[in-house]
Structure 1
Amino acid sequence: MTDPLKIAIIIGSTRDTRLADKPAQWFADFAAAERPDLTFEVLDLRDFDLPFFNEAASNAWVPSQSPQAVAWQKKIAEFDGYIFVTAEYNHSIPGVLKNALDQAYVEWAHKPMGAVGYGGVGAARAIEHLRLIAVELQMVPVRNAVHIGGGDFMAISPLGKNGEMSEIAGHLEGSAKALLEDIAWWGRATKAARA
């Protein structure tokens, strides 16, 4: 039996008033219960204090000099796949998430990625943009994603009812299961290919 795949759940916002904690914790708990064949770890960008990308080049070409970037690279290298929890800012991902993606290259390559997005349209545009960035980083974007939008978004947002994730979980579980299945399938395939 092979070791279980290790999947990072990356919180892609650092705002003081972010909503990310609710969907990230819900998804981490759901994923752990649904897929005991995988292991999950939540990574919060607040914990990494990444500077703005200011290296001579990507670490695909030149080793990074920033100690924070190197620590980030070492951490994300531990994983077989990634699920990003993202808001949608002006039809794209938060700047801190883009910066975190830019701080590595080698570590992302040939691994699957998916997303849990929240916002008025379920962060659909941000997730599409995230997938385009992932392709350039040689990740494998998976088809399925969790989109928390419209009434579900307003049900949990402080801008609306500020309710608990349990109020909308039934609407999200099907897409969450599909996302996890995609990550597991592509995670096994890419891990075998990397070996």
Structure 2
Amino acid sequence: MIRIALVVGSTRPGRRGTAVARWVLDTAATHPAVAGGRAVLDLLDVADFQLPLLDEPVPAAFGAYTRPHTRRWAAAVAAFDAFVFVTPEYNHSFPAALKNALDYLYAEWQDKAAGFVGYGTSGGTRAVEQLRQVMGELRIADVPTQVALSMFADFTFTDPTDPTQPGTCTPAPHHADALSRMLEEIIAWSAALAPLRAQAQPLPA
């Protein structure tokens, strides 16, 4: 079974990432691989780990984690074979909280596949563009298909003038098709990378 983490990258109060993640989980549940037990998608919310700005004295590449919050985050990430990153776009990039969470670890990310669900006024496309550069350095194989949700077309708000309202994620049907293709790619690439993960050195306790 391929274990896929749905990583919610925004920690902002009132974030819309929770609504997006709910849509991803509900839609992915009907995917044949998930429904048939070949893959499972579980939530991995950066906000739940309350990571401070990177405070490890040794670079992550050495794997010498000293902080309890780092070890907890490392254990959570290590348990998965692949990732779907849910990210908004902030000022042409992805959230600082997500970058911080990525920078905390190194070996735990490697030889795994990843896809992206972006959202924002431009569909989060520029945030995903920058995330792809980070994936390369972390040795994560990012798949080409992505989901780009528009704040104008793919969300429903009871009061569109209220910027604090999370709203409901109501994507057009073609986004579900893109998510399905992305999951197929993630599952295939993750399976192909399994021998590399098996050869990896055991992670530090």
Question: TM-score by structure 1 length?
Answer: 0.90
1:27 to partner: Cα distance: 0.3
Partner of 2:189: 186
Partner of 1:108: 109
Partner of 1:22: 19
Deviations 1:71-90 (A, max 9, x none): 10011000000111000001
**Ranges in structure 2 where 5+ consecutive residues have no aligned partner:** 199-205
Given that 2:157 and 2:168 are in contact with CA atoms closer than 8 Å, whether structure 1 keeps it comes out as: no
Closer, same or farther: CA 159–171 of 1 in aligned 2, 3 Å: farther
Partner of 2:145: 144
1:164 to partner: Cα distance: 3.4
**Structure 1 residues 1-195: aligned runs within 5 Å:** 4-34=1-31, 35-36=33-34, 37-149=38-150, 151-153=152-154, 155-156=155-156, 160=160, 164-165=168-169, 167-195=170-198
Greater shift, 61-70 or 73-82, is seen at 61-70
Secondary structure of 2:195's counterpart equals helix
Given that 1:19 and 1:157 are in contact with CA atoms closer than 8 Å, whether structure 2 keeps it comes out as: no
Secondary structure of 2:30's counterpart equals helix
Closer, same or farther: CA 158–132 of 1 in aligned 2, 3 Å: farther
Separation of aligned partners in 1, 2:44 and 2:185: 20
Secondary structure of 1:46's counterpart equals helix
Separation of aligned partners in 2, 1:10 and 1:55: 22
Letter in 2 for 1:190: L
**Ranges in structure 1 where 5+ consecutive residues have no aligned partner:** none
Given that 2:157 and 2:167 are in contact with CA atoms closer than 8 Å, whether structure 1 keeps it comes out as: yes
Closer, same or farther: CA 150–45 of 1 in aligned 2, 3 Å: closer
* Percentage of pairs with the same residue: 36
Specify which structure has the higher proportion of strand.
Answer: 2
* Alignment: residue pair count: 190
Secondary structure of 1:151's counterpart equals coil
Deviations 1:130-180 (A, max 9, x none): 110111111111101110025324x33677397633x42413111101110
Moved over 6 A (4+): none
